[in-house]
Amino acid sequence: MNRAYLVHVLRANWFRLLLVAIGLAIWGAILPIVYDAFGQQFRSIMDSGIIPPQFAQFGGGDIFSLTGSVALGFIHPFAVALNMVFAVGFAGAAIAGERQRGTLEVLLARPISRRVLYLTAAFATALFVCLTVAAQTLGTFGGAGATGRLDELGAGNLPLLWFNAVLLYGAFAAVALAASISFDRLTPALGVALAFVLVSYFFEAVGSLWPDAAFLQDYSLFHYLDAQRALTGLPDVRDFAILGAVIIIGVAYALAMFPRRDLAAPA
Amino acid sequence: MAVIETRGLTKQYGRQLAPALADLDLTVEPGEIFGFLGPNGAGKSTTIRLLLGFLHPSAGVAHVLGHDIDRGSVEIRRRTGYLPGGIAFWDGLTGERLLDELAAMSGRAPTRRAELLDRLELADALHRPVRDYSRGMRQKLGIIQALQHDPELAILDEPSEGLDPLMQRAFYEILEELRAAGRTIFFSSHVLSEVERICDRVAIVRSGRLVALEDVAALLARRRRNVELRFDGDAPMLDFVPGVSDIHVNGDRLTCGLEGDVAPFLAAIAFAKIHDLTIEPASLEDAFLEFYADDVVTPVAR
């Protein structure tokens, strides 16, 4: 890893990181507060049968418990979008963006191997993902604390939830970084990474809401973020293994392919 | 030991018929300024990118500063300064921050930065964001980032592009001082006058092949000069003078071509009544155009 390049990346992204972290912390805090204020009303509405019961299961659990609400909050489009700022936006642009801008020339004119460059970008991405997910997790902790529901939340298991979410967004980041080293232009790199996220989200949403399509969930990375189980302290290790495997495959692909690529002169 | 040495260096993209670079044999010695000439698409950038490890050779071998270009690329870049053509920067940084960061990434102290800033008159602009720089200022910044750590070898792609004539002169002086200090400069250019002025040797590539590799002085010495003289009385007899060709006499005016040694020509006209004599100096441009005039590529003999 190249420390000077890492410092450059951190300097260039600290303000964006701050904004995303604040947004996710607020979002994380809101869900326990909303649950505290409206949880009973929501349960009454669901009990009335107006809304299909599958909706109550979306996000991996019972949304009429605090843990279920928090689980929903972790894969809500708002949280996903904010987390993807770094998991896909930064990671997808890390190499392809430098290449398109022409600054990869300047970087690779230094005594930095492509593997080191990639690993530095991957480390920065991992750091950003860890911090943004931590912000949401801490927000959840703060929201539960403010409403006096820390015990109900199982706050001691929040690190497990954080780890599970880091693995999820880390897996998307690994795919985005693999796309980033594969293309000379930003658009296809981001396009591939975003398409992967959208298809994955679509499979999870459809599989969750439509029993006949439940098999699709197995093909969605979102399915392997089981926040409710993590908060009970009994996560499914296979979830972690699958997400970890995606990360390893993405990293291995990038480490093998990036040094082999021919980097022709920028157009 | 040669600073740059290539043997049969070849780069072919995919299955396209013509290689971007074919069978390049080149040796650049320590302490020389080596010009690399050729039209767009001739293979100049491909060669530079192969030497720096941006591209992988399809065939052949090359060593830079004693390191194999494929296996020792990082070591090569540790000891080399590189100015890419049309260089781009992170525009939000100030010039100073940018140079600091690039020096930190190089892992070598920017010992020549202050002097280069002074010589290229960029010191006053360093606190401004790079996005506010003109094209010429960006080029100066590019030159400084390539040379600030006093590399043993500088590889410069179109280095004087965007510089005004005063700055070009300052830049040439910097290169000449680097040469005097034992540094080696390898640069590509379209500006023939600058190659002619500062290079010790020049290589000309065309369609991916090396078509000439010579001392600039020797190349110029071999070039045909255009001679025009005005005389009184009989025209001087030049028909059998070595190196003289295309003799045309029109009244009191004689024109001819002159190649090689001028002594026989001067001896032949010594007793003629010459009242005006013009010998147009040979230019590298003539040589360059000659190499590019033919459609048939004649690779240089190895």
pLDDT means per 10 residues in chain B (302 residues)? 92 80 92 89 90 94 94 94 91 94 92 93 92 94 94 92 89 93 90 81 88 81 83 88 90 89 89 89 66 53 43
Distance (Å, whole) CA B295 – CA B281? 26
- Please provide residue B161's backbone torsions phi and psi, each rounded to the nearest 5 degrees: -60, 130
Q: Do A102 and B87 touch (CB under 8 A)?
A: yes
Query: How do strand B273-280 and strand B225-232 relate by DSSP bridges?
Result: antiparallel
Give the sheet arrangement for strand B67-68, strand by strand.
Answer: B21-28, B4-11, B59-64, B67-68
pLDDT at A230: 85
- Answer whether B145 touches A (CB < 8 Å): yes
Distance (Å, whole) CA B24 – CA B26? 6
- Answer whether B101 touches A (CB < 8 Å): yes
Q: Do B105 and A12 touch (CB under 8 A)?
A: no
Q: How many CB atoms lie within 10 A of CB A50?
A: 7
- Answer whether A12 touches B (CB < 8 Å): yes
| Mean local confidence (pLDDT), A23-36 | 89
Q: Do A110 and B146 touch (CB under 8 A)?
A: no
Residue A266: CA count within 13 A, CB half-sphere: 19
Better-scored residue on pLDDT, B281 or A16? A16
Q: Across chain A, what does the average pLDDT equal? A: 89
Q: How many CB atoms lie within 10 A of CB B81?
A: 26
- Answer whether B92 touches A (CB < 8 Å): yes
Q: Which of A5, A113, A264 sits opposite B55 (nearest CB)?
A: A264
Q: What is the largest CA-CA distance in chain A?
A: 67
CA distance B167 to chain A (A): 22
- Answer whether B55 touches A (CB < 8 Å): yes
CA-closest candidate to residue B63, choices B127, B138, B157, B153: B153
- Assembly ipTM: 0.82
CA-closest candidate to residue A262, choices B50, B160, B265, B231: B50
Distance (Å, whole) CA B138 – CA B124? 14
CA distance B42 to chain A (A): 13
pLDDT at B287: 65
Chain A residues within 8 A of B145 when measuring between CB atoms: 106
Give CA angle at B54 (B83, B27), nearest 5°.
70
Residue with tokens 């792609």: B157
- Answer whether A81 touches B (CB < 8 Å): no
Q: Is A170 helix (H, G, I), strand (E, B) or coil?
A: helix
Least-confidence region, from A147-156, A255-264, B57-66: A147-156
Q: Nearest residue on chain B to A265, judged by CA atoms?
A: B45
Q: Which of B78, B81, B105 sits opposite A2 (nearest CB)?
A: B105
CA distance B81 to chain A (A): 7
Q: Do A265 and B107 touch (CB under 8 A)?
A: no
Category of B69 on φ-ψ map: left (φ > 0), alpha (ψ -120 to 50) or beta: alpha
Query: How do strand B33-37 and strand B21-28 relate by DSSP bridges?
Result: unpaired
- Answer whether A263 touches B (CB < 8 Å): yes
pLDDT at B295: 47
Q: Long-range contacts made by residues A197-204, C-beta under 8 angstroms, separation at least 24?
A: A197/A80, A197/A84, A197/A88, A197/A172, A200/A172, A201/A77, A201/A80, A204/A75
- The 3-state secondary structure of chain B reads CCCEEEEEEEECCCCCCCCCEEEEEEEECCCCEEEEECCCCCCHHHHHHHHCCCCCCCEEEEEECCEECCCCHHHHHHCEEEECCCCCCCCCCEHHHHHHHHHHHHCCCCCCHHHHHHHCCCHHHCCCEHHHCCHHHHHHHHHHHHHCCCCCEEEEECCCCCCCHHHHHHHHHHHHHHHHCCCEEEEEECCHHHHHHHCCEEEEEECCEEEEEEEHHHHHHHCCEEEEEEEECCCCCCCCCCCEEEEEEECCEEEEEECCCCHHHHHHCCCCEEEEEEEECCCHHHHHHHHHHCCCCCCCCC
pLDDT at B120: 92
pLDDT at A51 over 70: no
pLDDT at B301: 43
CA distance A17 to chain B (A): 17
Chain B residues within 8 A of A108 when measuring between CB atoms: 52-54, 77
CB-CB contact of B87 with B102 (8 Å): no
Q: Is A240 helix (H, G, I), strand (E, B) or coil?
A: helix
Interface A-B: count of C-beta contacts within 8 A: 81
Q: Do B107 and A110 touch (CB under 8 A)?
A: yes
pLDDT at A148 over 90: no
Q: Nearest residue on chain B to A105, judged by CA atoms?
A: B84
Q: Long-range contacts made by residues B115-122, C-beta under 8 angstroms, separation at least 24?
A: B116/B143, B116/B144, B116/B147, B116/B148, B116/B174, B117/B144, B119/B170, B119/B173, B119/B174, B120/B144, B120/B167, B120/B170, B120/B171, B120/B174, B121/B167, B121/B170, B122/B95
Distance (Å, whole) CA A125 – CA A203? 25
pLDDT at B296: 44
- Answer whether B177 touches A (CB < 8 Å): no
Q: Which of A8, A101, A102 sits opposite B101 (nearest CB)?
A: A8
- Answer whether B156 touches A (CB < 8 Å): no
- Answer whether A40 touches B (CB < 8 Å): no
Summarize pLDDT for A101-123 with one digit per residue, the tens: 999 999 999 999 999 999 999 99
- Please provide residue A177's backbone torsions phi and psi, each rounded to the nearest 5 degrees: -65, -35
Query: Which tokens sit at B157?
Result: 């792609």
Chain A residues within 8 A of B75 when measuring between CB atoms: 111
pLDDT at A213 over 90: no
- With 0.90 as the threshold, say if the pTM is over it: no
CB-CB contact of A97 with B79 (8 Å): no
pLDDT at A192: 96
- Compute and round to an integer the Cα radius of gyration of chain A: 20
- Answer whether A6 touches B (CB < 8 Å): no
